[in-house]
């Protein structure tokens, strides 16, 4: 692509984002809906301003890679232990039941092969983390009972997407090669994963320590991007999903003192590339298919919502201790498809588990179900009235990862404040931009994170 063409595409993407996203937010439809709509409009189906969405999709996959790295950063063992019942209880039950029900419908109702039906069921069991958390945050419902349960379910879905993405290429092997065990390939995969784990355990922290001493923001940002993209590249060379490598890298740094600083460094890149990812998904939507098969597509969208929503509502009532209104809010929020389903079905298409026609229909169904999610949430809110400010059951007792105080700077005064707070059993998170001070205080058991507390994005991450 020449410079003129690159600048032209950049102007088109930025203009579409600037126009579509604020308009979608104005009508309370969410930023993701705006990105999808922008992609549909500028794509081959409408204005034909961009003719090669495949090239855009290759670049935009980095958005999913960065998203999984940030998810790995958030999954500290303390947080998972506190939320273990909701995440590994309700979340696991939702994914398994929905996969079984939708997979059975695809196999027995539509005659799909068993492997393809299993992938379809697992892909459609996933909901949109970007949509769900954004809607909950905009409506200030993250701390309500259904909001906390939705967060736990989405968290487990993100975890479940990792092995699913890794297994799809194996399921897509031809039958005559399925029985032949590729020892060299398996050893290569195990070796790369071991190298990532060992390197992340013993090399990343010294690397970030050296970079932190430079006190140059651009070098810190470049190092964070190098770790994510480099790990993803290594995994791709081994024939494993890039997303798995990024997730492992984030998981290895979840308990490090650099976690908040890394999250703040990567947030702008993650937001832009995820937006580009949703635009590329919108461009890949075949509107001619909707015009050719409007009834069939509408039936499939309604069938997805009809199969998924009752399971979510039932789990919310039985396992999540929600009342009827909370269970309904949970169901309409998570009944649609999710962004990881696009990744799963693209891999399934590349692995020849899904034909082109089935892939295009599934992408259209997921996109329409995601577009309906804000409308369903608004309709449920109007029908049920405002959500109660207080949850119907007591908040979970959180022993860690929920600071009531953020100490900006951990010098002499910060340490005195920390001792007072610790004496009164008040949880806190301390931020310090001197790596020497961080290393010194962590030796004595204090939990201090490296980062500049004067940066607003770092405070939001903490």
From the number of C-beta atoms within 10 Å of its C-beta (0-12, 13-18, 19+), residue 187 rates as exposed
Mean pLDDT for 188-216 is 80
Q: Give every CB contact of residue 445 below 8 A, 6+ residues apart in sequence.
A: none
Mean pLDDT for 169-193 is 62
Mean pLDDT for 406-418 is 79
Per CATH, domain 3-52+61-177+277-384 is 1.20.58.100: no
- Which of 63-72, 246-255, 448-457 comes out lowest in average pLDDT? 448-457
Q: How confident is the model at residue 439 (pLDDT cuts 50, 70, 90)?
A: low
Task: Compute the mean pLDDT over every residue in the chain, rounded to the nearest whole number.
Answer: 80
Cα 13 from Cα 20, distance rounded (Å): 10
Across 317-326, 382-391, 407-416, 421-430, the highest mean pLDDT is recorded for 317-326
Q: What is the pLDDT of residue 183?
A: 64
Q: What is the pLDDT of residue 402?
A: 63
Cα 99 from Cα 118, distance rounded (Å): 7
Side-chain half-sphere of 160: how many Cα atoms within 13 Å?
Answer: 27
Mean pLDDT for 429-440 is 72
| Residue range 390-406, pLDDT digits in tens | 444 343 333 445 667 88
- Pair of tokens at residue 353: 């588990």
| Residue range 156-168, pLDDT digits in tens | 888 888 788 878 8
Query: Is the four-CA dihedral 16, 226, 453, 248 of positive or negative sign?
Result: positive
Q: What is the pLDDT of residue 191?
A: 80
Q: What is the pLDDT of residue 445?
A: 60
Q: How confident is the model at residue 3 (pLDDT cuts 50, 70, 90)?
A: low
- Which of 35-44, 106-115, 335-344, 418-427 comes out lowest in average pLDDT? 418-427
Q: What is the pLDDT of residue 436?
A: 62
**How is the beta sheet containing 405-408 ordered, strand by strand?**
405-408, 428-432, 448-450
In DSSP terms, which residues pair with 407 in a beta bridge? Answer: 430
Q: Give every CB contact of residue 77 below 8 A, 6+ residues apart in sequence.
A: 254, 255
Q: What is the pLDDT of residue 314?
A: 93
Q: How confident is the model at residue 119 (pLDDT cuts 50, 70, 90)?
A: very high
Kindly list the domain boundaries of the chain, sorted by start residue.
Answer: 3-52+61-177+277-384, 405-461
| Residue range 263-301, pLDDT digits in tens | 888 878 877 887 887 888 788 777 888 888 899 999 999
Per CATH, which fold does 405-461 belong to? Rossmann fold (3.40.50)
What residue spans of 293-424 are helical by DSSP H? 294-318, 324-334, 339-350, 356-384, 412-423
- Percent of the chain topping pLDDT 70: 84
Cα 378 from Cα 333, distance rounded (Å): 10
Residues for the chain: how many in total? Answer: 462
> Between these two residues, 109 and 186, which has the higher pLDDT value?
109
- Which of 121-130, 176-185, 289-298, 309-318 comes out lowest in average pLDDT? 176-185
- Pair of tokens at residue 422: 């610790």
- Which of 29-38, 179-188, 346-355, 429-438 comes out lowest in average pLDDT? 179-188
Q: What is the pLDDT of residue 401?
A: 58
> Between these two residues, 412 and 327, which has the higher pLDDT value?
327
With a cut of 60, say whether residue 179 has pLDDT above it. Answer: no
Compute φ and ψ for 448, nearest 5 degrees: -125, 140
| Residue range 225-254, pLDDT digits in tens | 888 888 888 887 776 667 777 877 887 777
Cα 373 from Cα 159, distance rounded (Å): 22
- Which of 64-68, 76-80, 111-115, 345-349 comes out lowest in average pLDDT? 76-80
- Which of 273-287, 375-389, 417-431 comes out lowest in average pLDDT? 375-389
pTM for the model stands at: 0.68
Q: What is the pLDDT of residue 122?
A: 94
Cα 327 from Cα 319, distance rounded (Å): 11
Q: Give every CB contact of residue 462 below 8 A, 6+ residues apart in sequence.
A: 260, 403, 406, 429, 431, 449, 451
Q: What is the pLDDT of residue 61?
A: 74
């Amino acid at each position: 692509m020449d410079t003129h063409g690159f600048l032209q595409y950049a102007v088109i993407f930025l203009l579409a984002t600037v126009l579509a996203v604020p308009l979608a937010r104005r009508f309370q439809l969410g930023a993701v809906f705006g990105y999808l709509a922008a992609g549909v409009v500028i794509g081959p189906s409408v204005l034909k301003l961009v003719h090669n969405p495949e090239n855009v999709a290759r670049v935009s996959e980095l958005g999913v890679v960065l998203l999984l790295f940030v998810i790995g950063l958030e999954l500290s063992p303390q947080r998972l232990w506190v939320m273990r019942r909701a995440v590994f209880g309700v979340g696991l039950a939702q994914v398994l039941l929905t996969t079984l029900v939708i997979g059975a419908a695809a196999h027995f109702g539509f005659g799909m092969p068993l492997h393809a039906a299993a992938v379809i069921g697992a892909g459609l069991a996933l909901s949109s983390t970007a949509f769900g958390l954004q809607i909950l945050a905009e409506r200030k419902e993250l701390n309500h009972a259904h909001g906390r349960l939705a967060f736990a379910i989405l968290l487990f879905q993100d975890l479940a997407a990792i092995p699913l993405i890794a297994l799809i290429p194996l399921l897509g092997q031809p039958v005559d090669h399925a029985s032949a065990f590729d020892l060299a390939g398996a050893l290569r995969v195990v070796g790369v994963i071991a190298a990532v784990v060992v390197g992340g355990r013993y090399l990343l922290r010294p690397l970030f320590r050296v970079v932190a001493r430079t006190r140059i923001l651009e070098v810190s940002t470049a190092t964070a991007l190098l770790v994510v993209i480099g790990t993803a590249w290594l995994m791709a060379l081994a024939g494993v999903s890039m997303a798995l490598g990024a997730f492992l890298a984030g998981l290895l740094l979840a308990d490090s003192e650099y976690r908040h600083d890394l999250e703040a460094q990567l947030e702008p890149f993650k937001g832009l590339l995820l937006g580009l990812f949703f635009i590329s998904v919108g461009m890949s939507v075949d509107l001619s298919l909707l015009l050719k098969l409007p009834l069939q597509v509408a039936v499939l969208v309604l069938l997805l919502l009809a199969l998924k929503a009752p399971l979510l509502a039932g789990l919310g009532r039985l396992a999540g201790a929600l009342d009827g209104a909370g269970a309904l809010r949970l169901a309409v929020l998570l009944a649609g498809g999710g962004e990881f389903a696009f990744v799963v079905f693209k891999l399934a298409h590349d692995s020849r588990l899904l034909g082109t026609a089935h892939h295009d229909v599934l992408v259209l169904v997921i996109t329409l179900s995601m577009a309906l999610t804000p409308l369903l949430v608004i309709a449920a809110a109007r029908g049920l009235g405002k959500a109660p400010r207080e949850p119907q059951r007591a908040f979970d007792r959180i022993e860690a990862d929920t600071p009531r105080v953020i100490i900006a700077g951990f010098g002499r005064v910060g340490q005195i404040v920390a001792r007072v707070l610790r004496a009164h059993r008040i949880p806190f998170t301390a931020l310090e931009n001197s790596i020497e001070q961080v290393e010194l205080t962590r030796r004595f058991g204090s939990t201090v994170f490296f980062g500049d507390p004067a940066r607003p994005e770092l405070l939001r991450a903490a």
